Amino acid sequence: MASRKIIIDTDPGQDDALAILLALASPEELDVLGITVVAGNVPLPWTQKNARKICELAGKPGTRVFAGADRPLIRPLVTAEHVHGRTGLDGPDLPEPTMPLQAQHAVDFIIDTLRSLPSGEVTLCTLGPLTNVALALQQAPDIAPRIRQIVMMGGGFFEGGNITPAAEFNIYVDPHAADVVFRSGVPLVVMPLDVTHQVLTTRKRVEAIGALGTPVARAVVELLEFFERFDEQKYGCDGGPLHDPCVIAYLLQPQLFQGRDCNVTIETGSDLTLGMTVVDWWGVTSRPRNATVMRYVDADGFFNLLTARLKTLCG
């Protein structure tokens, strides 16, 4: 069976890094056509550099990386150095990348790729703010029916928000872009905080990765040890949530996740709840279902998958 063609849109971020590594470690199932980066966890000069560092860590320097939007559609940029550190990949001492940044803009790459390949072949995997994808949909509305699926990390319902009481970070950074995407008619699969907060980097799980003994595993442990310190203090748990790799894990083993089809609307007008994903989980409105929202995950199965795939990366 042919591997699934994907574009990863991301703002690395330690957890984004794990998602990229998981995808690059799964070439039989996933064909990574390119990685498009956006400002989010840290500004664009860092995210475009971080994506290339991770590709080189994985031993995949031929992966194409494209820089995209350096700010949200309308609002000023909000970043998360308080979580990810100044560089976004604080933790390990990764060398400066030597692989080139592609000259083409990320939005143009998304549009051209979707137009050049047969309709329904390309899945967009979004791990950060949705600015690049929204710009592509606005500039080229014809691509919407050509997208097989958008699988995203974003939002929350039962868990609330993680940057405000109501909003998850990726959606809050660019709620207007999220609104464009959720109104686009593209099939959406959403990995909200409700799922990612079940996937905790416990000491036992991190030790299992470290026991692999490879350069990649050592770097991953250092990434996680830095990343989890914030959430352990915030939530008082053993380990922190590993958000973005859920997107890639879903493509590899969808049976790990359970959810339901819902209507999801993005709040763009309220100062109090800006960026809230209003999920009609119980079907109390007549709004049409526009997203499959995940609620449960087999966390042990997720970490078994992640650890097994990391073992294949020699760096």
pLDDT value of position 292: 98
CA distance 159 to 155: 9
271 pLDDT more than 90: yes
- Is the separation of the CB atoms in 62 and 35 below 8 Å? no
Q: What is the pLDDT of residues 187-214, one digit of tens each?
A: 999 999 999 999 999 999 999 999 999 9
Residues whose CB is less than 8 angstroms from the CB of residue 14 and which lie 6 or more positions away in sequence, other chains included: 84, 88, 89, 90, 91, 223, 224, 226, 227
pLDDT value of position 232: 53
Q: Which residues of 161-171 are buried (b: 16+ CB within 10 A; e: fewer)?
A: bbbbebbbbbb
Look up the CATH number of domain 4-310.
Answer: 3.90.245.10
CA distance 202 to 200: 6
What number is the average pLDDT over the span 211-235?
82
233 pLDDT more than 90: no
- Encoded tokens for 170: 């990726």
How far is residue 51 from each of residues 12, 18, 136, 295, measured CA to CA in Å? 6, 11, 20, 29
Closest CA to 182 of 163, 158, 155, 162: 155
CA distance 199 to 87: 24
Cis link prior to 59 (omega < 30° from 0)? no
Point out the residues that are catalytic: 243
Position of tokens 């606005």?
A: 138
301 pLDDT more than 70: yes
3-state secondary structure of 8: strand
179 pLDDT more than 60: yes
Q: What is the pLDDT of residues 56-114, one digit of tens each?
A: 999 999 999 999 999 999 999 999 999 989 999 999 999 999 999 999 999 999 999 99
pLDDT value of position 227: 75
Q: What is the pLDDT of residues 6-62, one digit of tens each?
A: 999 999 999 999 999 999 999 999 999 999 999 999 999 999 999 999 999 999 999
* Residue-range domain boundaries for the chain: 4-310
CA distance 17 to 51: 7
Average pLDDT of the chain, as a whole number = 95
Closest CA to 178 of 167, 193, 165: 167
Q: What is the pLDDT of residues 234-260, one digit of tens each?
A: 556 668 899 999 999 999 999 999 999
